[in-house]
Amino acid sequence: MDRFSTYRFQLTYRLPGDAPERAALAKTLEGAGARLIDDCPAGPDHVVIEFRQAAGDASVALMEALRTVRRHLPGAELVSSSPLLPGH
């Protein structure tokens, strides 16, 4: 029997010069099961994307999230990742 857990984490990316407008990017990511966080302390050329991924383990969830961003935002550079612990 497969056991899946839901993993929550945020990925911070530096945007490429040809990145879509924020509203369009938010809509695209929402359709992919992610949420664009409006307030990014890293600066205007960065975005924070929150994921809630069901997977057998955290590494699988993270890899799927990275593939999602690469598919929808090619050229973005991963700056950091952080887990969201229960209650946050």
Express as a percent the part of the chain with pLDDT over 90: 55
pLDDT value at 28 more than 70:
yes
| Mean pLDDT (whole number) for 65-73 | 93
Q: What is the Cα–Cα distance from 88 to 50, expressed in whole angstroms?
A: 12
Q: What is the pTM of this model?
A: 0.85
> Which pLDDT score is estimated for 16?
92
- Which CATH number is 5-83's, of 3.30.70, 3.40.1010, 3.30.200, 2.60.40? 3.30.70
pLDDT band at 38 (very low <50, low <70, confident <90, very high): confident
80: left (phi over 0), alpha (psi -120 to 50) or beta: beta
Contacts of 44 (CB under 8 A, 6+ apart): none
